[in-house]
Amino acid sequence: MATTTQAGVTSAHAGEMKKHKMLIGGKWVEPSTGNWFESVNPYTAKPWALIPRGASEDINRAVAAAKKAFYDPAWRNMSATARGHLLRKLADLIAGEAERLGQIETTDNGKLIAEMGGQVKYIPQWFHYFGGLADKIEGRVIPIDKPGVFNFTREEPVGVVAAITPWNSPLLLATWKLAPALAAGNTVVWKPSEFASVSALEFGELFERAGFPPGVVNIVAGFGTEVGETLVTHKDVAKVAFTGGDKTGEHVYSMAARGLKRVTLELGGKSANIVFDDAELDEAVKGAISGIFAATGQTCIAGSRLLLHRPIYDQFVEKLLAMARTAKMGNPIDPNTQVGPITTQPQYQKVLDYIRIAKEEGATCQLGGGPAKRPECGNGWFVEPTIFTGVKPNMRIAQEEVFGPVLSIIPFDDEEEATRIANDSMYGLSAGVWTTSIRRALMMSERLEAGTVWVNTYRAVSYMSPFGGYKRSGIGRESGMEAIREYLQTKSVWIDTVGNAPNPFIMRMGGQG
Ligand code: NAD
């Protein structure tokens, strides 16, 4: 058996690890290549599981299974209420497995168990919410402007949905796609990240247990260029729901465009967290810490640009540094750990490269600024929580997504300047505003170009509230009522009710009866 690491290196540990399979057409199958690759635990930097290395042939089989399931009466004729029931049953099964799934993700991508525990326990809410929505997908009767016709709309599923997810929150981000896609009656082929596939492959079993017909959900693991592209360009895929980096998103968008597919993209960010002089400063300090060091900064909504009102600048930086210095690094499986490892070796190198670039650009490193060599960090890919002051809005460190625990601090004088700096970004995923003034809160939430604005809080999400990006942060919305529309297409039905056909040589336009 050939096994390679994510970097393509042949491994000596293959025998000790669980060898996963892929879910295609309701069966657990081996990859057509006969090859597996290793998933690495970022805390130990050692492989711990074997992932099937899917190929185009596996995608073709999975899409064929999803297409067959889409037209199969077992799914197509299932009532919307029964579909909703399946989603709610799945939610209950996830709740029962939450602890195990949380531990798998922590081992696979290094995200804190302290966060994963809550995150996986919250995932069922999406399936409950969209399960509840399944039988509330309704069309309209339109009081058309012509006599003798009855016009109504139907909201129908789009077909086979390709779901592609990144490594930072695999189950949560897949849930944001799967729950509305299935509630709307679509079928799915899900490709998780090659850096964090284990939880996806374990999760697959729950669809079977909940009673979804075979082929409604298929999971193919593998690399973006090997299976991702085949999936995106497959002629039988009607819609691509992608979460990942903006450069990959741009490529996925252009590939999908060639097939005229529907697309939603959840991409990166460079979010501004803005603190005014009237803010509750201790709360805002916690908000700034949560914005950049939670999830080790590996979150699309990281508040990686901290904009500080000049009157409180010195005082705030001092408080922030004091709290950041107390951050407890270490094994993410320890519930007391506050900052874990970087998930992948290439990402670790990227974060260190950005720290070097920031120093070369003339930013002042106030904290951290390199690899963490603390004993509790073991052999993992750890970077010290890093804070830069003296950052100019046009520096690369203020413009580009680092996706790590690196904060850029920029001062401002008034609302106008704060708005200008915050919006001077190719991204627009989220923003934070810290103020006790209702006027400022409303004014800033109106002016900021971002899909989410948090006032006096940060990093809050819910199944009920739409989430998505402005500008290069994405297209479309996930969660909330908006999300289900992304998985439906509208059909307009006309019925003649009088049988008195008008002139057949002209179109029936307004006023022509
Ligand atoms: P990535 O873009 O490298 O990969 C994302 C997924 O795309 C993976 O499954 C990967 O295998 C696949 N992929 C890669 N190349 C592909 C190709 N050519 N065709 C089809 N699929 C391909 O992103 P990542 O490094 O895994 O994740 C980090 C990025 O994700 C960050 O930029 C982050 O901001 C973003 N992200 C966004 C959100 C959001 O909701 N907006 C949430 C989490 C992460």
Q: Is the pLDDT confidence value at 373 over 70?
A: yes
CB atoms within 10 A of CB 357: 15
Distance CA 488, CA 285 (A): 42
The answer on 187 and 142 residing in a single domain is yes
Q: What is the pLDDT of residue 15?
A: 64
CA nearest neighbour of 291 among 450, 422, 407, 426: 407
The answer on 276 and 254 residing in a single domain is no
CB burial readout 474-489, b (16+ within 10 A) else e: bbbbbbbeebbebbbe
Query: In the chain, helix, strand, coil percent, each to 5?
Result: 40, 25, 35
Distance CA 287, CA 270 (A): 16
Does the residue 44 lie in any domain?
A: no
The answer on 359 and 440 residing in a single domain is yes
Q: What is the pLDDT of residue 507?
A: 83
Distance CA 30, CA 54 (A): 9
CA nearest neighbour of 28 among 18, 41, 37: 18
Distance CA 501, CA 400 (A): 62
Q: Is the pLDDT confidence value at 43 over 90?
A: yes
Does the residue 502 lie in any domain?
A: no
The torsion angles phi and psi of 257, rounded to 5 degrees, stand at -60, -35
Strands 470-471 and 452-455: unpaired
Does the residue 2 lie in any domain?
A: no
Distance CA 263, CA 324 (A): 39
The answer on 327 and 261 residing in a single domain is no
How far is the first Cα of the chain from the last one, in angstroms, to the nearest whole number? Answer: 72
Asked if 307 contacts 272 with a C-beta cutoff of 8 angstroms, the reply is yes
Please compute the mean of the pLDDT values over residues 371-397 and round it to a whole number. Answer: 96
Does the residue 511 lie in any domain?
A: no
Q: Kindly name the residue from 115, 194, 300, 384 that is annotated as catalytic.
A: 300
SS3 93: helix
For residue 113, the domain's CATH number is 3.40.605.10
What average pLDDT does the chain have? 95
Q: What is the pLDDT of residue 14?
A: 57
Does the residue 373 lie in any domain?
A: yes
The answer on 428 and 335 residing in a single domain is yes
Distance CA 239, CA 260 (A): 9
The answer on 485 and 446 residing in a single domain is no
Does the residue 430 lie in any domain?
A: yes
The answer on 211 and 133 residing in a single domain is yes
Asked if 341 contacts 381 with a C-beta cutoff of 8 angstroms, the reply is yes
Q: What separation in angstroms does the CA of 242 have from each of 197, 246, 300?
A: 15, 10, 13
Does the residue 464 lie in any domain?
A: no
Distance 252 CA to ligand 1 centre (A): 10
Q: Is the pLDDT confidence value at 329 over 90?
A: yes
The torsion angles phi and psi of 47, rounded to 5 degrees, stand at -65, 150
CA nearest neighbour of 296 among 258, 251, 246, 351: 351
Range of the domain at 366: 272-455
- Quickly state the pLDDT bin for 94 (edges 50, 70, 90): very high
Lowest mean pLDDT among 33-37, 147-151, 203-207, 239-243: 147-151
The answer on 357 and 210 residing in a single domain is no
Q: What is the pLDDT of residue 506?
A: 84
Q: Is the pLDDT confidence value at 200 over 60?
A: yes
The answer on 350 and 237 residing in a single domain is no
Does the residue 413 lie in any domain?
A: yes
Distance 166 CA to ligand 1 centre (A): 4
Q: Is the pLDDT confidence value at 499 over 90?
A: no
Strands 160-164 and 237-243: parallel
Q: Is the pLDDT confidence value at 10 over 90?
A: no
Distance CA 215, CA 166 (A): 23
For residue 328, the domain's CATH number is 3.40.309.10
Please compute the mean of the pLDDT values over residues 377-393 and round it to a whole number. Answer: 96
Domain count, the chain: 2
Please compute the mean of the pLDDT values over residues 280-286 and round it to a whole number. Answer: 98
Asked if 333 contacts 384 with a C-beta cutoff of 8 angstroms, the reply is no
What share of the chain in percent tops pLDDT 70? Answer: 96
Name, in order, each residue with C-beta under 8 angstroms of 497's C-beta and a sequence gap of 6 or more.
148, 149, 150
Asked if 293 contacts 327 with a C-beta cutoff of 8 angstroms, the reply is yes
Q: Kindly name the residue from 38, 115, 202, 266 that is annotated as catalytic.
A: 266
Q: Is the pLDDT confidence value at 12 over 80?
A: no
Q: What is the pLDDT of residue 1?
A: 43
- Is 300 catalytic? The answer is yes
Q: Given the CA of residue 193, which atom of ligand 1 is nearest to it?
A: 9
The answer on 367 and 324 residing in a single domain is yes
Q: Given the CA of residue 269, which atom of ligand 1 is nearest to it?
A: 34
Q: Is the pLDDT confidence value at 13 over 80?
A: no
Q: Is the pLDDT confidence value at 7 over 70?
A: no
Asked if 232 contacts 86 with a C-beta cutoff of 8 angstroms, the reply is no
Lowest mean pLDDT among 5-9, 88-92, 391-395: 5-9
pLDDT tens readout for residues 401-455: 999 999 999 999 999 999 999 999 999 999 999 999 999 999 999 999 999 999 9
Q: Given the CA of residue 469, which atom of ligand 1 is nearest to it?
A: 41
Q: Is the pLDDT confidence value at 461 over 90?
A: yes
The answer on 140 and 126 residing in a single domain is yes
Tokens standing for residue 320: 């922030």
Q: What residues flank ligand 1, with Cβ below 6 Å?
A: 164-168, 173, 191, 193-194, 224-225, 228-229, 232, 243-245, 248, 251-252, 266-269, 300, 401, 403, 429, 469, 474
From 109, 193, 459, the mutation candidate for ligand 1 (largest count of ligand atoms within 8 A of CB) is 193
The answer on 277 and 184 residing in a single domain is no
H-run or E-run covering 85: helix 80-109
Burial of 36 (0-12, 13-18, 19+ CB in 10 A): buried
